[in-house]
Amino acid sequence: MHVKGKVCVVTGAASGIGEAVARAYAEAGARGVVVADLKTSRDRLAKVAGDIDGLAITGDVGLEEDIKALVAAAEDKYGPVDVFFSNAGLSRKGQESASDADWDVSWRVHVMSHVFAARALVPGMLARGSGYLLNTASAAGLLAPLVKLGDAKAATAIETLRVYLDCWGSLARSGAVLHLHPNAVAHRMKRIRALLAADLDDPDQRLALQIACRAWSGGHIPAEP
């Protein structure tokens, strides 16, 4: 996908991934970049927009009227939207035990916001024969069965899994990093596999979990030895 000369909208753009992508779009020659985030991030959002000569719009992506207003503002300023990057997101603890209010806001932000964007943009994109809807997705939810163990046990389990995956399934190397006997690592991993119901021999599942572990603890994914 090339963004040169295109109109791009980025939500959750006051910081992090959204800010970085908005700046990258501008550097790549986008005709216009619209950055959006909550009103509580107004000052930071304005700075990002100022730095890239873009347009800052505040709003809540979990509200359809705010998505419609965002698209309208982008089109009024730059013309039809070519790229809509739904990056806004939030984190709530508790999984199935979370409150209804937490579930509601998570559902609106992580699911319905994409539906709202599609409703507002897909008809025009189809008519023009082009356009992109991009979504940020998190692998963190894959670790929910471990998170439910509680802070201390979850940290131990996720660190064990991270090291095991980083060591490409070598119990010996994992043990050396964790300062454990290989059999102790094997015992932990048996429990972790059961909780996750994951096939760690499947490269796609392995990579997804590795990304989730790295996101949890921070850092890069090492190359295969």
Task: Round to whole Å and give the CA distance between 131 and 82.
Answer: 5
Cβ burial of 100 (10 Å; 0-12, 13-18, 19+) is exposed
pTM for this one? Answer: 0.75
* Residue 26, CA distances (Å) to 54, 71, 87, 201 in order: 8, 18, 17, 41
Task: Round to whole Å and give the CA distance between 102 and 94.
Answer: 9
What pLDDT does residue 91 have?
A: 77
What pLDDT does residue 219 have?
A: 53
What pLDDT does residue 142 have?
A: 86
What pLDDT does residue 56 have?
A: 98
Task: Round to whole Å and give the CA distance between 23 and 32.
Answer: 11
Cβ(146)–Cβ(154) below 8 Å: yes
Q: How many CB atoms lie within 10 A of CB 53?
A: 9
Q: Strands (DSSP E) along the chain, which ranges? A: 7-11, 32-37, 55-58, 83-86, 132-135
What pLDDT does residue 114 have?
A: 97
Residue boundaries of the structural domains of the chain: 7-137, 141-217
Task: Round to whole Å and give the CA distance between 183 and 75.
Answer: 61
| Blockwise average pLDDT, block size 10, the chain, 225 residues | 96 96 98 97 98 98 98 98 95 78 93 97 98 87 87 94 95 97 97 93 91 74 52
Strands 32-37 and 7-11: parallel
What pLDDT does residue 10 have?
A: 98
Cβ burial of 99 (10 Å; 0-12, 13-18, 19+) is exposed
- Spell 64-89 as b/e; 16+ CB within 10 A means b: bebbebbbebbbeebebbbbbbbbbb
- State the distance between the two ends of the chain, measured CA to CA, in whole angstroms: 32
- At the top level of CATH, the class of 7-137 is alpha beta
